[in-house]
Every structure is written in structure tokens, then in C-alpha cells.
Chain A
Amino acid sequence: MVTVEEISVNYSELLKADIKAFEEIGKELRKQLLPKLHEDYELALEIEPKLKDGEHEITQTLSLCPSCLRLLKAVIFEREGKVWIRKECPVHGEIEEIYWGDYELYMRFKKWQFDGKGVKNTNVPLLTLCPYNCGLCPRHKSHTALLNLVATNRCDLSCWYCFFFAARAGYVYEPTLNHIRYMLREARKLAPVPPKALQITGGEPLLRDDIVEIVKIAKEEGFTHVQVNTTGIRLAYNGELAKKLRQAGTNVLYMSFDGVTPYTNPKNHWEVPYTLENLRRANLGVVLVPTVIRKTNDHELWDIIRFGVENMDIVRGINFQPISLTGRVSRGERRELRITIPDAISLIERQSGGVISKYDWYPVPSVAPISHFIEALTGNYQLTLTTHFACGAATYIFKDENGEIIPITRFVNVEDFFKYLEEKAKELELGKNKYLVMLDFFIKLRKFIDSKNAPKSLKKGNEIIKMLYQIFVKHDYSSLGKFHYKTLFLGMMHFQDLYNHDVARVQRCDIHYISPDGRLIPFCSFNVIPMLYRDRVQKLYGIPLKEWEKIRRISLTKQKYKRNISTLVKGKPYKHHYRNFIDVDNISIEEHVKISLRFGIPAE
């Protein structure tokens, strides 16, 4: 039995606890852990933020003061073709931040907002205002599309911008296998749509010796899609681990990849080629995840896509993440570093010479009509992506036989197709005969596809029609998998920070963390207000760093990764993967070492 006294947890008892014990302690702690008015935050809703000359209001929302976390009213407005957010704290004054770099794209994306149906079994009672009530609470509009599980906060790197890893946090959080099973079970209780996609994250989750076991547990608990979020460095040296992860059921790796040169990607530039080789041998796909920072790597966005296309046999997608500015960041620094989704989209358009234009991108909730249609057809609740339209964007690109890159929107009339599906879903809901609807669907389907502009490989044997048939008639989603393998998914996901924070986005978030006490916490509450969510709960379930090192007889400092650059740059995989991107023989070993050291990773 685990003892909960006041608000502390006995760590040594946690190590021995069974699933039932985790259930009991979780239930007891949840309410106590919720942020409290006057202790953790204040409200200042009386101040209505004002517009200035040359600005026009788009909407109002709720937001937080980055300094004191007061709940404030905020105005979202247009100025000079861009979208901004402004709020005013009675103590810390006015805060203005760029929200979206392109007003026109914002208005185009806005058309595609679909809200979810909420969640039926919330884990926390309604005690306070959003975003201090996360768990999920009854206000939450979207169910979990991707569940995040923190397997450890240990990391073998110490990137300058990260405040999360154990050595800097001062404690180690690493749930036991029983604890993990409890958390996954709690998450799967969500109704009406239990999550099926899981991301195992960290810290560096591959530091855990039992990572393969964790993947197996996830599969046993009903997660059909399991991805591991990693730097991939360990897999560069350990091909066997890649095979074991794949065999255990890992579907894909979610791997940091900030650029194609050592200058833009000092985190894992040297290891990535070796990791990709080992992933090929293991037949384990990977999604590249560049964190996009203005004037740091934003000039390489097209090169990153080219790198993905060149390695399409193993790279399944690229998910660009414009930087989220955590911690205190001055206005000047924010201007220096900040990049928003439309900025990145526009850079890709420019860098690719229009191969991928801004009109090829659609907001995440634009695909909701597919779920609505299938739901209406089958009568079964479907996973539906109903995030806020400003949170993310996506497109698919195809590589034709002649090497040409063709976005899906050039041969599929996505806009009309989604509108048609939404219309048909409504007809089905109103009781129209489903066979008549399906007949109409087959007749109309070809109208949305412009075969003459499609990649040659898809023209053969009506591949696209076949895929759509499998999805909509047979409800066989493995065809989506095939679709994915012939294409490269391109995504954008801009996690919030305290400067651009918008409660309307939090309420629609569908990427949730499972908290050690069983709550489901939206990504942008868990990480954006860590003192109220992530750090508060993980510290409670964790152990001070020194004690952990004593018990495990491991020194975290000694675990730090040290790279052998001279060996890495001499290898064939390194030269092969970067041959079209950098002059591999023209950067001296000393220069390589200097870049790595500057980032904080010892090298020789």
C-alpha cells in the first residue's frame, strides 16, 4: 500500500506498488494536485485589452500572464497582414506577441474548424477555470488522438534550451512497469473514443533498459500505434535495439532532426546516418522532427524535405515544430527566435521554388469530415482530429518516377472532397439510406481526382481510387498505411508558450500526457505551465537526483553522451546521406568538434 501523507508519496513504496495501489493513490492525489486560486494563480478578468491604430479585432480569448500566470482576457487582432495577441496583466503590464504570421492563411484555415464531442468520463471535477482544471475536465472539446507517456526524465544530452531533463530538474522521474501499465489503462478508459496512438517520450526513453518491455505493455493495453520519441543516438550504435523495438511493436520513431548540416543540427547530425541505416535493417520507419528556429535553421526547411524524400524508404514523414519559447524570454529575443506555422510554410514555398505552395497545406481539423462520414456510415464513434485550426497543418507529397515532387493537392481536390464528405455525413445522420449515399459516393469519387496531374505510379491501376475504396467501404485502414508508404507526410505542429497562449487552443488540444496520477493533461498545459502540471506531479512521484544515483549506483554525469566525431564523419553512411547537402570533406574535424561542444555535447 502506498502512503499518501499530506501531499507526498513514499518513493520506495512506489517501486513495489501494484496496479491497484497506483489506482488508489492516483484517485487520492488528483484533486489535491489541481492548481488552487490564490495559492497558484489569480484571476484578472476585469481588464479588456485595447486595440491601437491600424489594428482590427479578430476575436477575444483567455490567456495567461507569462510572469505570474494570472488568467487574463486577450485580444487576437490583425495588423499589417499578420495575426497578433495582446493581453494586459495588472502587475506585469502589456504583453504583445505574434500569433500567426499570415492573416490570409489564418482566415483560410479558420474555415476548417470542427469541434469534437467532448469526453464522457472526465478525471477531475469542475472546480476552477480553464486552464487550471486539466485532467481532462468536462470543458475539453477533443478526445485524445495521441497520448504521451514520459518513460523517464533522464537524458544523455544537456541541450541549452531544455529545462526538463533530470540533471537540471534535480529529480529523477521514472515510472515502474506496473505504474506504466496503470497509466496506460487509465488513458484507455477514455470515452467515447479511447486513444489508440501512443508516444513514449522523455528525457531520452531509450536510456531505459526495459524500453522494449514498455512497448510490449503498450501493445498489450490496446495501443495499435506506438512511436518512440528519441534523438536516435543510441540506435546509431545499437542496431539490435532497433530490431527489438520493431519486433515488440514499435510502429515508428519520432526523431529529432533540425537540419542537414552540423551547424543547424548539432544535436544528432553525425549519428543520424547510422541510425537510418540501422532502422532500414530493422524495417522501422521514422518521422523526422525539426524544431524550427528563426535565423537558426529556417533556411534549411526545403533541404530537410529533400533529405526526407531521398530517404523515403525509411522516412515516413517530417513534422516541423516551430519553437515554443519556454521560460522567461525577453521581447527582443522572442522577435529574434519566433517563427509561426505560416512563416515556415511560406519559407518552404520560397525555398522550393513553389514546388510546395502555401495552398498545399491544410489545417489538422480539415480531415474531420473523413471521420464524420465513417462514423455516420458505421454508427461507431471514430477518432476525429478536432484541434484548433491554428495548432497544426499538414500535406502529403509524392515522389514521381522522374523524381518530381507532387503535393497531393495538385491531383486531389481536397477542399471539395472534404466538403462532400461532410455533406454526406449530415445526410446519413438525418436518416438517408446508406446504400444510396455510397452509390452517390462511387459515382462522384472520380470527380475529385485529376488523374492527368497524378504521379505515374498512382495512375497505374487506379491506385488512389482503390485506396479510397478500402478506407470508405471496407473500413480497412491498412490502406492508409500503404498510402503513407508511397508518400511523405509533411506536418507542422506549433506548441504554445506563455506568450502566445490561447485557452481556446488548450480546450481543443488532442495531444495529451498521461500524468502519473492518471489525469490526462493537454500538451500545452503540461509543458507550458510545468509548475502547475508536469513538474509538480513528476517531482511528487520522483526522487531527488542524488538519492536516485545512490540507489542505482549510477552517475548521471557519467552517463552523458560523448561523441567520437572523427570516426563518425569517416564512415560511409555519413558521406552517403549528406553527399547532396554538404561538402562532407570540406569541414575539418576541429570544426565539427567545435560545433558539438558549442551545443553542449562533448566530442573528440
Chain B
Amino acid sequence: MNRTDRGSKLEFKAFEVELESKIPKSSKIKIKTTVYAIFMNKKAVKVEPYTVEDFNDSYALDFDLRFSESILLSYSDLVSSNFNVKILKYEFPKDILKVAELNEVEDLTSKEKYYVVSIYRKGKNYMFSREKTVKFRNKNDALDWINNIHIIE
């Protein structure tokens, strides 16, 4: 997931996606992403990226790691689409416990909207690893779930 230790800070990458393809399957998808930081005994706090970059092929595997399992979207789908993908980069202090990522997925072909929440835990060597991914139909349910993470712990 390309999470690197930048000096005293930890880096986390997320993606925002707009994609439209005709072949092999017609699809139009928008993924809006919000990231939350979770510290010990505190509620999840929404954070802003410190930089936003355009997608390039060096992020292909990162993209697959992020979306193939949860949304069944991969770099190969990007190649066969017109797309606009942004890389959102975040920095966190080392005492962060977890990161919650909320993907609002809008499938404009099937007119479906759903929410995917992935929780990443800071592990050994200050790397984040995916702990859990849950899909919601309703945004409030997704936000409630994120807000209750510290209680769950």
C-alpha cells in the first residue's frame, strides 16, 4: 500500500477515481475518498491530504491492492477506460493507531451507490496493513461505524 515512514511522520496513500469504459463492459464509476485518523481513546478525526498527485503507472499495484478486493476494480480496468485518478497523500504522527478510509462508490451505470470502509492498523516497522473492509448501503451507517471504532477496540 506504499505506506512509508517519512522521518517522524507516517505516509498513507488513498485514491479518488472517475472512470468510464465501454469495452469489455460499459461502466461509469466515481469513487470519492475520505480518510480518518484514529488515536488511542479518541474519536476518529477526518484528515486532509498534504498533497494530491495525478495517477501514473508506478501506482498500478497500489491501485490493485486498494480496490481489487473491495470494489473489483484493477489497473487493467483503468487501462481500458477514460479515467481521472488522483493520489491523495496523508501524513500521520507515529502515535497513530489506525486509519479509516471511506470510499463513496457511485456506479453511474447501475445507479447504485454504496460505501466501503477499510481499516488499516499501524503494524511493526510503522507500516499500515489492512485489517478489515466493510461495505455499507447507507453513508450514516458507515460514518457511525467509523466513529465507534475506538469503542470497539
Q: Which A residues have a C-beta under 8 Å from some C-beta of B?
A: 43, 45-46, 58-62, 73, 76, 110, 113-115, 117-118, 126, 128-130, 137-139, 141, 388-390, 503-505, 507-508
The answer to whether B147 has its CB under 8 Å from any CB of chain A is no
Q: Which of B3-11, B47-55, B75-83, B138-146 is near enough to bind chain A?
A: B75-83
B153 contacts partner chain A, Cβ-Cβ < 8 Å:
no
Q: Mark B77-114, 1 if CB is under 8 A from A, else 0.
A: 00110000000000000000000000000000000000
Q: Is the CB of A139 within 8 A of B64?
A: yes
Is the CB–CB distance between B23 and A139 below 8 Å?
no
B80, A504: Cβ atoms under 8 Å?
yes
Q: Classify chain B's interface size.
A: 10 to 19
Min Cβ gap B109→A in Å is: 11
Give B residues with C-beta under 8 Å from A: 21-26, 57, 60-61, 64-65, 68-69, 72, 74-76, 79-80
Partner of A129 from the list B24, B26, B75, B80 (CB cut-off 8 Å) is: B75
B contact residues around A43 at 8 Å (CB):
57
Contact B57 A45 (CB under 8 A): yes
A76 to B76, CA, bound (A): 14
Interchain CA distance A62-B75 in the complex, whole Å: 9
Q: Closest B residue to A386 by CB, please name it.
A: B25
State A469–B60 Cα separation when bound (angstroms).
Answer: 47
Shortest Cβ distance from residue B3 to the other chain A in the assembled complex, whole angstroms: 15
Q: Smallest CB–CB gap between B67 and chain A, Å?
A: 9
Assess whether B23 is in contact with A76, with CB atoms less than 8 Å apart: yes
CA of A504 to CA of B25 in the docked complex: distance in angstroms? 10
Chain B positions within 8 Å of A507 at CB level: 74, 76
Please give, as numbers and ranges, the residues of chain A lying within 8 Å of B79 by CB-CB distance. 60-62, 73, 503
Choose among A58, A139, A389 the residue that contacts B76 (Cβ–Cβ < 8 A). A139
Contacts of A113 in B (CB 8 A): 23-26
Contacts of A389 in B (CB 8 A): 24
Q: List 12 A-B contacts (CB under 8 A).
A: A43-B57, A45-B60, A46-B57, A58-B23, A60-B80, A110-B24, A118-B72, A130-B74, A137-B68, A141-B72, A504-B24, A508-B24
Q: A129-B61, A389-B24, A504-B80 are in contact. List 16 more A-B contacts (CB 8 A).
A: A43-B57, A58-B23, A59-B21, A59-B80, A60-B80, A61-B76, A73-B79, A115-B25, A118-B72, A126-B64, A130-B74, A138-B64, A139-B64, A390-B24, A504-B76, A507-B74
- Among all A-B residue pairs, the 7 with the closest Cβ atoms: A59-B23, A138-B69, A113-B25, A45-B57, A139-B74, A139-B68, A138-B68
Nearest CB in chain B to that of A131: its residue = B76
Bound-state CA distance A137–B21 (Å) is: 23
Give the contacting residue for B64; candidates A110, A129, A388, A508; CB below 8 A.
A129
Selected from B57, B72, B75, the residue in CB contact (under 8 A) with A115 is B72
A60 to B79: give the CA distance in the assembly, Å. 6
CA distance A126 to B1 in the complex (A): 11
Return the chain A residue nearest B71 by Cβ: A118
Contact partners of A504 in chain B: CB under 8 A:
24, 76, 80
Alpha-carbon gap, A6 to B69, bound state (A): 31
Most A CB within 10 A of own CB, among B21, B69, B76, B80: B76
Bound CA span A504–B27, Å: 14
- A126/B65 in contact, CB under 8 A: yes
B76 to chain A: closest CB distance in Å? 5
Bound form: Cα–Cα A473–B57 in Å: 49
Q: Which residues of B contact A73 (CB under 8 A)?
A: 79
Bound CA span A93–B69, Å: 35
A507 to B65 Cα, complex, angstroms: 15
Tell me, in angstroms, the Cα distance from A60 to B22 when the chains sit together. Answer: 11
Assembled-state Cα–Cα distance A508/B79 (Å): 15
